[in-house]
């Protein structure tokens, strides 16, 4: 191995060990530094942005302290370090696959920013200044966390809507939405949210027609939504408040950071709206309200909106196929 490659390897290992060390200290079952645990938590800007930035900085700093670094190295070595660290975190069950997928874009971006800053700031001719800068950056997440503690996590209620045109009557569409019989896997379209681990929809039962009726919307792997009808306008609108049976969702299905009904995310209300169109077509709209409560809603909401819209798309796909098949008979 050449000296250049050896320096990159040492830099990369330093960055990975730093990030994994911080994540390990945040494990509830592992003895940890009380100070680190009191200023950084997993669902914080300090963790999702400042820690990857510091990892990227470390993964370039050791090399930059001894020799010049290329722009490509400053950008992509932090990517490898962040990716390996996320893979290890998933392998030791610190993070679930959904969390890793959602964290990856911002972590990779911040890692590259850290690498670029390190390559720009650190000069081989100033080794002592380079060492001091590494110590400062290593403490950066703690300082960010301290500032973050002074702000209360914002709560946002988001509304996501999808629609489909169905060649069927309003009566047929209504019959298929008030109760949804068991959905077979081959009825569902391809879905990226299911690929990353979000459970597939199974069925929806209804205790009785009319206001106050209770739907049990079941998803795979033990996810249950209890839906109470609060809008009942046959062949026009069906609305329901939603309560996730979060106490019985297995931790292997959705981990605590993305758990429906947990402190960071919840689904609140759903509504179907039927809009008859000329030519025997019904436009079926599905609206969903959900809550996002994080320190980085500006980022989290991109994912929650996308997941909700993808789930809506799958449900509407099944309903459209079923309604049109019923009308064809």
Distance CA 197, CA 28 (A): 24
Residue 311 is part of which domain span?
154-328
CA distances from 77 to 8, 59, 83 (A): 8, 7, 10
User: Quick one: pLDDT at residue 261?
Assistant: 81
User: Quick one: pLDDT at residue 65?
Assistant: 87
The angle at the Cα of 18, spanning 17 to 19, to the nearest 5 degrees, equals 95
Query: Quick check: 35 pLDDT over 70?
Result: no
Task: Decide if 86 contacts 103 (C-beta within 8 A).
Answer: yes
User: Quick one: pLDDT at residue 123?
Assistant: 87
Beta bridge partners of residue 13, listed in sequence order: none
User: Quick one: pLDDT at residue 227?
Assistant: 96
Nearest to 307 by CA among 196, 185, 165: 196
Residue range 145-192, pLDDT digits in tens: 888 877 767 789 999 999 999 999 999 999 999 999 999 999 999 999
Q: Are residues 160 and 239 in the same domain?
A: yes
Residue range 280-304, pLDDT digits in tens: 999 999 999 999 999 899 999 999 9
- pLDDT tier for residue 8 given thresholds of 50, 70 and 90: confident
Strands across the sheet containing 281-294: 154-166, 281-294, 265-277, 237-244, 223-233, 214-219, 201-206
Q: Are residues 128 and 164 in the same domain?
A: no
User: Quick one: pLDDT at residue 251?
Assistant: 66
State how many domains the chain has.
2
CA distances from 38 to 4, 81, 126, 145, 168 (A): 39, 26, 34, 9, 58
Q: Are residues 159 and 272 in the same domain?
A: yes
Q: Are residues 119 and 36 in the same domain?
A: yes
User: Quick one: pLDDT at residue 32?
Assistant: 47
Helix (H, G, I), strand (E, B) or coil at 119: helix
Residue range 78-118, pLDDT digits in tens: 999 999 999 999 999 888 899 999 999 999 999 999 999 99
The whole-number average pLDDT for the span 6-31 is: 81
Helix (H, G, I), strand (E, B) or coil at 140: helix
Q: Are residues 210 and 309 in the same domain?
A: yes
User: Quick one: pLDDT at residue 104?
Assistant: 96
């Amino acid at each position: 191995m050449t000296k250049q490659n050896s320096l990159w390897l040492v830099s990369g290992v330093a960055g990975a060990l730093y990030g994994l060390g911080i994540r390990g200290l945040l494990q509830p079952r592992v003895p940890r530094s009380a100070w680190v645990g009191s200023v950084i938590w997993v669902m914080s800007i300090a963790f999702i942005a400042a820690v990857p930035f510091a990892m990227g900085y470390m993964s370039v700093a050791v090399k930059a302290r001894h020799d010049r670094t290329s722009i490509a190295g400053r950008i992509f070595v932090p990517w490898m370090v962040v990716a390996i660290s996320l893979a290890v975190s998933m392998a030791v069950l610190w993070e679930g696959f959904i969390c890793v997928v959602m964290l990856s874009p911002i972590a990779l971006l911040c890692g590259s920013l850290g690498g670029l800053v390190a390559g720009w700031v650190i000069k081989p001719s100033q080794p002592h200044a380079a060492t001091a800068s590494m110590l400062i950056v290593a403490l950066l997440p703690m300082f960010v966390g301290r500032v973050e503690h002074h702000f209360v996590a914002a709560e946002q209620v988001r509304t996501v809507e999808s629609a489909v045109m169905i060649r069927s009557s309003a009566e047929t569409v209504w019959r298929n939405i008030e109760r949804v019989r068991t959905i077979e896997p081959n009825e569902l379209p391809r879905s990226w949210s299911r690929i990353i681990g979000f459970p597939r929809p199974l069925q929806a039962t209804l205790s009785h027609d009319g206001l106050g009726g209770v739907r049990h919307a079941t998803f795979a792997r033990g996810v249950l939504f209890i839906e109470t009808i609060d809008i009942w306008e046959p062949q026009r609108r069906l609305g329901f408040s939603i309560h996730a049976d979060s106490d019985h969702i297995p931790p292997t299905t959705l981990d605590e950071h993305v758990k429906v009904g947990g402190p960071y995310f919840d689904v609140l209300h759903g509504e179907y709206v039927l809009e008859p169109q000329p030519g025997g077509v019904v436009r079926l709209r599905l609206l969903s309200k959900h809550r996002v409560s994080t320190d980085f809603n500006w980022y989290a909401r991109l994912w929650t909106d996308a997941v909700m819209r993808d789930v809506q798309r799958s449900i509407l796909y099944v309903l459209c196929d079923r309604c049109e098949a019923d009308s064809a008979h």
